[in-house]
Amino acid sequence: MELTTVWFILIAVLWIGYFTLEGFDFGVGMLLPVLAKNDTERRVMINTIGPVWDGNEVWLLVAGGATFAAFPEWYATLFSGFYLPLLLILVALIVRGLAFEYRAKRPEDSWRARWDLAIIIGSFVPALLWGVAFANILRGVPIDADHEYTGGFFNLLNPYALVGGVTTLLLFLVHGALFIALKTDGEIRHRARALAIKVGLGAAVAAVVFLLWTQLETGTTASAVAFVAAAVALLAGLSQARVAREGWAFLGTFVAIAVAVAGLFLALFPDVMPTTLAAGDGLTTTNAAATAYTLKIMTVVAVIFTPIVLVYQGWTYWVFRKRIAVHHIPAAEAEAAAQ
């Protein structure tokens, strides 16, 4: 197997890791005003992702760095053509990270309310725009013979891309609700599970429409198999949520997102950024790749450090695996929140 193909697969794996892990982070953030009835319950929800959210974002950083090193032409065209939506995502992630860190620095309700709003918006914007961005990559964008993006921002807001954005938004909502149901106890747990079942029906419809549209446009036999498997996993997860088996339900959405993203990359390969211009020149794993020597060095580094990162992150999830509830919030903070 050529190293260009190997690195396409590795980048796909990094995006799968990012969407499956950061996806439930986004879901938890968006559900703050929906599931929590007071500040103590909001603290419970935030604490479910407190130990892991920043580690989950590492997958995005590595995916971006790997793209820059392995496929510099892809990176250059993507970040210049998608500059505004990617900037919005970056700002949202920065504000969201600040909110997690600064929310508890002062006791005033107004202070916490403003940072809660930052968490909600900072979770909503990436959940929507990542779907829009990936849909445009699959559909193709106007790229000329010099590999320059010639479109504008509104070219990216086409019906197919918007359906992709709605799909990721709803899937992350369901994924986050099931994570909350898995990680909490008491009333929040029951509310989260009930909401996941309701929103899950809409997410399933949106996912079917988007994946079927993708399959008809650019799909292959391999992507079709992946899309069917993703749909089965999502429905299986929702069925487990109905019988209060939150662990299996969360695994269902986890697998559904992972397999669906894998299917998108299967539908894209060997392209990395196709063009919609007749006289244009789209980017592939061949013409967008770095030199063979660069890919060899990167492969050695990946073989050494990837297992270390996986073991460390797995250990983090194991340490913070137990459920939390309102009674775990320190009494002084709970009393202050009730005043």
With 0-12 CB in 10 A as exposed, 13-18 as middle and 19+ as buried, what is 153? exposed
The ranges assigned to domains in the chain are 3-174+268-338
Please check whether residue 272 is in contact with residue 288, taking contact to mean a CB–CB distance below 8 angstroms.
yes
**Which tokens sit at 91?**
């700002």
- The phi, psi pair for 322, rounded to 5°, reads -80, 155
Q: Two tokens at 113?
A: 């309310």
Cα 131 to Cα 110: distance, rounded to the nearest angstrom: 32
- pLDDT, tens digit (0-9, with 9 covering 90-100), for 96-119: 999 999 998 888 889 999 999 999
Instruction: Convert the pLDDT of each residue in 39-74 to its tens digit.
Output: 899 999 999 998 899 889 999 999 999 999 999 999
Give buried/exposed letters for 69-108 (b at 16+ CB in 10 A, else e): bbbebbbbbbeebbeebbeebeebbebbbebbeebeeeee
pLDDT tens digits for 216-247? 989 899 999 999 999 999 999 999 999 999 99
How confident is the model over 202-217, as pLDDT tens digits? Answer: 999 999 999 999 999 8
Report residue 298's pLDDT band, with 50, 70 and 90 as the boundaries.
very high
Strands (E), 192-308: 271-273, 283-284
Question: Burial of 174 by CB count in 10 Å (0-12 exposed, 13-18 middle, 19+ buried)?
Answer: buried
Contact 334, 326 (CB under 8 A): yes
Site of tokens 């006791």: 107
Q: Got the DSSP string for 253-291?
A: HHHHHHHHHHHHHHHHTTEEE-B--TT---EETTTT---
Q: What is the pLDDT of residues 262-271, one digit of tens each?
A: 999 999 999 9
Give residue 339's pLDDT band: very low, low, confident or very high (50, 70, 90): very low
User: Do 174 and 24 contact (CB within 8 A), yes or no?
Assistant: no
Per-residue tokens: 154: 């509104």
pLDDT of 331: 61
DSSP 329: S
Give the per-residue pLDDT at 337: 44
Asked if residues 27 and 174 have their Cβ atoms less than 8 Å apart, the reply is yes
Reported as a pLDDT band with limits 50, 70 and 90, residue 151 is: confident
